[in-house]
Amino acid sequence: MTDTLAGGVGVWCGGEPGSGDGEFQGLLRAGTGIVEPVLREAVGRLHGSLASVCRYHLGWDGGDSRAPAVVRAGKRVRPALALLSVRAVGAPEGYAAVAGTAVELVHQLSLLHDDIMDGDTERRGRPTAWARFGTGAAVLAGDALVVQAVATIFHARAPGASAATEELISAVEQMVAGQAEDLALEHRCAHEVSVPGYVRMARGKTGALFGCAAALGAVLAQAPPTVVRALRGAGSDLGVAFQILDDVLGLWGDGALTGKPVGTDLVRGKKTLPLVLAAGSDSADGRRLAALLGPAPLPSAQVPEVMGLLEATRGRERAEEVAARHVASAVAALDAAELPADVRQQWHSLIDGLSQRRS
Amino acid sequence: MTDTLAGGVGVWCGGEPGSGDGEFQGLLRAGTGIVEPVLREAVGRLHGSLASVCRYHLGWDGGDSRAPAVVRAGKRVRPALALLSVRAVGAPEGYAAVAGTAVELVHQLSLLHDDIMDGDTERRGRPTAWARFGTGAAVLAGDALVVQAVATIFHARAPGASAATEELISAVEQMVAGQAEDLALEHRCAHEVSVPGYVRMARGKTGALFGCAAALGAVLAQAPPTVVRALRGAGSDLGVAFQILDDVLGLWGDGALTGKPVGTDLVRGKKTLPLVLAAGSDSADGRRLAALLGPAPLPSAQVPEVMGLLEATRGRERAEEVAARHVASAVAALDAAELPADVRQQWHSLIDGLSQRRS
C-alpha cells in the first residue's frame, strides 16, 4: 500500500518525490502573500458583523478575546494556482491578486455553507463559523462572499475582466451543481454510483474552481484560447485528483492533521471514490460492502467492518490509481500549453506538493 | 387609526384610494407573464435536485405527489417594477423579462435563506423549502439562485448589460448588508435604534432590490443617468415604505392573509419601525415599552402588553406617517423622471396598490 500519491505522481512529473517541497511551500506562501491584501480589502467592504464572521472563518482572528487569535489557516492552494496562471502567460502578478481573491472568496463561501449543510461543528480545531456566530450570520456571510467574488473580478482593471467574470460565474455554477450532486449521492447506494459519475461530481465540486483558478489570470490577460483551455483543463484534472486524495485522507489520514475525524464521510453516507470502487468490485467482499453501504447513513459501529472490506478490495490503491491518471492528464494539458521552462517546473512542484499532502 | 396606508397614499398619488386596483392587478399579472418564462429557464439550468427545491419554493409545484400542486405564489412585485422600468424609457419589453428575472432570483434567494436564518418552518401555508428538503439543499439552492441572477443579467443581449451587472451586484451587496444590519438590530434594545438607523437598514434590506428593479430595465437600455437615478430612487423609497407596511402587517395584519403569525417579529426581537418609534417616545408608556424590549427575545406572554403599549404610543400611525413620507419621496422622484403620462399613471397604480396591500 502506498503511503501517499507520491509514487505515481513522481513518475508523471519526472521528479523525485518531495524534491520540490521547498518550492511548493514557497508557491503557497507567494500566492497567499499576493492575494491576502486584496482578500482583506474585500472582506473589509462587508457589513461589520459579516466581516467578523469572515475574519474568524479565514483564521485572521479568534472572534473574541478568549478564542485563539491565530489559527492554522487553510493552505490557500487556489491563490497559488492563480499566481501560476499569470506566470504561465507572463501577465502582471497584480492580476493574480484579483483572480486569486475572487476564487478564494468562492472557496471560502463553499466552506462556510458546507459546514452548515453538513452540520459540522469543528473546523481546524475551532468551532465552525455557524457554531460560533449562528446559522443566520454564517449563511449571510457566505452570500456576501460570493457577491464580493463576482464584484472583485468584474471590477478588475484588466483587458479580460469581462471574460474573467464569465469564467468565474461558470465555475461557481459548476461548483454548486457538483455540491448538489455530492448531496444527492449521499442518498444513493454506493454500488449504484459509477466511477464516471463520481468523477463528474468531483469535477464540479472541486475541479471547476481549481480549473478557474488555473485559468483566470490568463483570462484577465486575454491569453490565447488554447492556452486558457489547457490551463483550465490542467486545473480541473488536478482538482479531481485533489478531491480523491481528500477522500483517501478522510478514510486513512491523520485526523489531527486533516482536522476532520476519520470516518466522518463514511457515517454521513458520502460516496467517496474508495467506497465506489470497492462496492462495485466483483467479489464477495465487494458485495458485502455494497450491502452495507445502502442509501441510509452508516451506523458508527459498522465503520471497522467497512474499513476492513475497503482494505480487502483495495479501495484505496484503486482510488489512488484514478487520481494518478488525473494528475497525468493535468501534466499532459500543461505540456500542451508550452509554458516557459521555469513556470512549468513551478506547476510541477505544485502538483507534486498537492499530491503528497497529508492534510 | 387608519386601516391601511391608503389614506396618505391617495393624497400623494392624487387618486381615489383603490381606484387603480384593476390596473395594479393587471401590472402584477403582466410582470409575472413576461418574467415567468425566463425565470423558468433559469431554474431549469440548475442541477435537478436544486431545481426541485426552487420550483417548490416558487410555488410551481408541490414537491411531491401528496403536497398541493399549486399554491398561492408571491406577488411578484419586482417583476412589475422591472416592467415599468422599461416602459419608463420606451425600451423593448424583452429587457423587462431579463431584468425582472435577475431581480426575482435574488429576491427568492433572500427568502430561501431568510427562512433558514429565522428558523421559519412555514411560508404561504406550506412547509418552507428547508423544512421540506433539508437545510443543505435549501442553502445550496439559494447559492445557485444568486449565481443565476448574475449570469442572467450578465448575459443579457442589451447595450447596457455590463452597467446592469454592476447595478445588480451593487444592489445585492446592499441587500445583504441590510439583512446583516436587521440581524444585528435583533440584539439591540428598541429605544437605542433611531429612525434614520431603521431606514438605513430597510433601504438596504428591501429598498436596494426595489431600486434595482425599478432602474434595471432602463440601465439595460442605456437610458440617461438622470432618469436611471430617478427610477432607482423611486424604487428605493417605495421599498422602504413597503418594508414599513410589512412591519405593520406583521403586528396588526391578518395572519391568514400574510401567511405569518401575528407577533412573530415581536417575539424574535425584530426592531420593526412601530416598536422603534414607540419605544423612543418620551412618555411613561414609551419608557415601559423600552424596558420590555431589551436585547433578548420577548417572551410570548408579554406580547399583549406590548401591543397595548404600541396602541397607546401610536406606534402604528407614526410608522405609517414615515411610510407615507417615503411614498411621497418616490412620487417626487418619478415626477423628476418626466415619464410619459400613461407610464406615470401605471407607476402610481403600482404605488397605490402596494400601499393598500394586506398581505
List the domain range (segments joined by +) for residue A199: 20-351
pLDDT tens by residue, B60-87: 988 764 655 555 567 799 999 999 999 9
Q: B301-320 in b/e burial notation, b at 16+ Cβ within 10 A?
A: eebeebbebbebbbbbebbb
Give the whole-angstrom CA distance, residue B133 versus residue B138.
7
Percent of chain B scored above 90 by pLDDT? 77
The distance from CA A353 to its chain's CA centroid, rounded to whole angstroms, is: 14
Q: In B, which residues are within 8 Å of A165 by CB distance?
A: 154, 165
Whether A352 and A5 have beta carbons less than 8 Å apart is answered as no
Which three cell numbers, joined as nine digits, stand for A237? 484534472
Which triple of cell numbers denotes residue A204?
464540479
The DSSP output letter for A68 is -
Q: Evaluate whether residue A15 is within a structural domain.
A: no
Residue A12 lies in a domain: no
Which residue type sits at A153? I
What 3-state DSSP class applies to A135? helix
Per residue in B327-336, pLDDT (tens digit) is 999 999 999 8
Is residue B4 included in any domain, yes or no? Answer: no
Summarised one tens digit per residue, pLDDT across range B237-255 is 999 999 999 999 999 988 7
Consecutive 10-residue averages of pLDDT for chain A (359 residues):
39 46 93 96 97 95 64 81 98 97 98 93 90 95 98 98 98 98 93 96 98 98 97 98 95 78 84 95 94 86 94 96 97 93 96 86
Distance CA(A199)–CA(A30), nearest Å, equals 30
Question: Is B307 contained in some domain?
Answer: yes
> Which of B112, B114, B176, B270 is the mutation pick for testing A, counting most A CBs within 10 A?
B176
Nearest residue in chain A measured CA to CA from B138: A117
Specify if A25 maps to a domain. yes
Contacts B136 to A, Cβ<8 Å? 116-118, 183
Give yes or no for a contact between A162 and A146, defined as CB atoms under 8 angstroms apart: no
Q: For residue B64, what pLDDT is reported? A: 67
Q: What is the mean pLDDT of chain B?
A: 90
Name the minimum distance, in Å, from the CA of B204 to any CA of chain A.
11
Mean pLDDT confidence for B103-121: 95
**B49 with A184: Cβ contact below 8 A:** yes
The answer as to whether A249 is a domain residue is yes
Give the integer Cα–Cα distance in Å for A231 and A216: 9
Cα distance from A269 to chain B (closest Cα, Å)?
Answer: 14
**Predicted confidence (pLDDT) per residue in A149-168, tens digit:** 999 999 999 999 999 999 99
- Give residue B143's pLDDT band: very low, low, confident or very high (50, 70, 90): very high
So what's the pLDDT on residue A295?
Answer: 81
pLDDT of residue B298: 87
Q: What is the pLDDT of residue A255?
A: 75
Tell me if B10 is assigned to some domain. no
Query: B218-244 pLDDT, tens per residue?
Result: 999 999 999 999 999 999 999 999 999
- Contact between B169 and A147 using a beta-carbon 8 Å cutoff: yes
Q: Tell me, what CATH number does B254's domain have?
A: 1.10.600.10
Q: How far is the alpha carbon of A144 from chain B, nearest alpha carbon, in Å?
A: 6
Q: CA–CA separation, B133 vs B330, rounded Å?
A: 39
Residue linked to cell 403586528: B251
Which residues of A fall within a CB distance of 8 Å from B180?
A: 46-47, 49-50, 137, 140, 144
Q: What total of structural domains would you count in chain B?
A: 1
Q: What is the pLDDT of residues B44-62, one digit of tens each?
A: 999 999 999 999 999 998 8
Contacts of B148 in chain A (CB under 8 A): 173
> Among all chains, which residue has been given the C-alpha cell 451587472?
B165
Q: State the Cα–Cα distance between residues A128 and A300, nearest whole angstrom.
A: 23
Task: Classify residue B175: in a domain, yes or no.
Answer: yes
What was the ipTM of the complex prediction? 0.92
**In this structure, what C-alpha cell is assigned to residue B221?**
437600455
Q: How confident is the model at residue B16 (pLDDT cuts 50, 70, 90)?
A: very low
Neighbours of B95 (CB within 10 A): 27
Residue A329's alpha-carbon distances to A224, B80, B337, in angstroms, are 20, 50, 58
Please tell me which of the candidates A139, A151, A180 has its beta carbon nearest to residue B47: A180
Distance from CA of A220 to the nearest CA of B (A): 16
Question: What is the 3-state secondary structure of B86-140?
Answer: HHHCCCCCHHHHHHHHHHHHHHHHHHHHHHHHHCCCEECCEECHHHHHCHHHHHH
A340 min Cα distance to partner chain B (Å): 35
Instruction: Look at B181 and A113 and tell me if their CB atoms are within 8 Å.
Output: no
pLDDT value for A5: 42
C-alpha pair distances (Å), B116 with each of A118, A193, A342, B52, B206: 14, 31, 49, 17, 18
Residues recorded for chain B: 359
Which residues of chain A make contact with B118, given a CB cutoff of 8 A?
A: 136
